[in-house]
Chains A and B, each alone.
Chain A
């Protein structure tokens, strides 16, 4: 399918009965949505399940979707809501504790046999501390931070995605950055980095 066809056009095609258009939309966004959810929930299987749920919900709602915002913003909105629900459920039920070891990491995928295992372990531990710091943000702070920092959304788009005023997004973002600075300060103050 022509890559130049924009998302909204594909949605229109889907609404006109062309099922392949939805396949193309999934192909375009499955990696982005999966990555976003993996960063957010930090559990490989849960991220996969929620990604499937995002497209399932999108498929069901797309028939009546009106292009008030970009399709991608709408898709992130579904993903964010599901991620927030996930974190709330996790907070209510600690059984859903995350296991960071399940997450595939670049340096684990491409393990260099000659590199120093102690250094590797230290790096892994540092990565874990940092990701745990991000986990300590409130669900909304985390969603704002993830969407603006890693998904490349403008603050206006983040606001649309999370149904917030742009000013509220900025407040959440400032709080997130301040919290991260407080939590991660020991890493550079102790010369651990």
Chain B
């Protein structure tokens, strides 16, 4: 039996719902009498439905998204330091390079690199220039701190949920210890200590009450 001469692309577009409305109705009519195209549309549709179903199963858990902002700013802060160094080097080479030919520039550059490497080895790196990039870097650092604080608060909330809703003292304690570790150098360590104390006294009271009950 000869294959239908209708474009295969039309069957794909129809299954993919891409067919322009002007072509859709005539193609639907054609499907009523064409076995080849009907089979093609059915198999393309089945393949697409299968892939849709498999892709829907992929989920990004909410907790995975929490640290994205902080990590972006960390990445920015790290790159700013590199950029400042590179821009200083580049500016230096540009300034010494212009009056000479390329070979002299290369020679001067080599000497300059050797001097810079030596300077880095024997002295402190120079402070970054006060440019717009530095302002951005400071801003990135401030944001890292803000996101860290947000992360600490989330961990505290999680610990409290574990304590009050799941009544899991052991998990709460380890969550609070993690939070305390994360909060090193901030006032949040005091909050963690207080919560750990409350947790310990709660466990102690419960143990005492159980003993009284047993007696």
Contacts and interface: CB of A to CB of B under 8 A. Distances in A.
A174 B9 contact: yes
Contacts of B64: 34, 44, 48
B68 A30 contact: yes
B72 A39 contact: no
Looking at chain A's contact residues, the main secondary structure is: helix
Contacts of B52: 149
Contacts of B31: none
B76 A59 contact: yes
A178 B18 CA distance: 15
Given A177-B44, A188-B46, A130 B58 contact: no
Given A26-B69, A52-B72, A184 B58 contact: no
A181 B18 contact: no
A8 B78 CA distance: 27
B15 A177 contact: yes
Nearest to A110: B59
Contacts of A30: 65, 68-69
Contacts of B79: 56, 60
A184 B47 contact: yes
A23 B143 CA distance: 9
A19 B139 CA distance: 8
B54 interface: yes
B57 A38 contact: no
B69 A23 contact: yes
B154 interface: no
A127 interface: yes
B50 A187 contact: yes
A130 B18 contact: no
B130 interface: no
B51 interface: yes
Interface in B98-139: 139
Interface residues of B, number: 34
B161 interface: no
A185 B57 contact: no
A174 to B, nearest CB: 5
B47 A181 contact: yes
Given A35-B60, A38-B60, A39-B55, A193 B68 contact: no
Contacts of B9: 170, 174
B59 A52 contact: no
A51 interface: yes
Contact of B48 (A131, A180, A185): A180
Given A34-B64, A127-B57, A177 B72 contact: no
B72 A26 contact: yes
Contacts of B56: 106
Given A19-B143, A133-B51, A184-B46, A52 B12 contact: no
Interface string A171-193: 00110011011001101100001
Contacts of B57: 105-107, 127
B197 interface: no
Contacts of A26: 68-69, 72
A149 B60 contact: no
B170 interface: no
Contacts of A35: 58, 60
Contacts of B68: 26, 30, 34, 48, 51-52, 55
Contacts of A126: 54
Contacts of B71: 52
B16 interface: yes
7 contacts: A34-B68, A44-B64, A56-B75, A109-B59, A127-B57, A181-B44, A184-B50
Given A59-B76, A103-B58, A177-B16, 9 more contacts: A19-B139, A19-B143, A23-B143, A39-B58, A59-B72, A104-B60, A127-B54, A149-B55, A177-B12
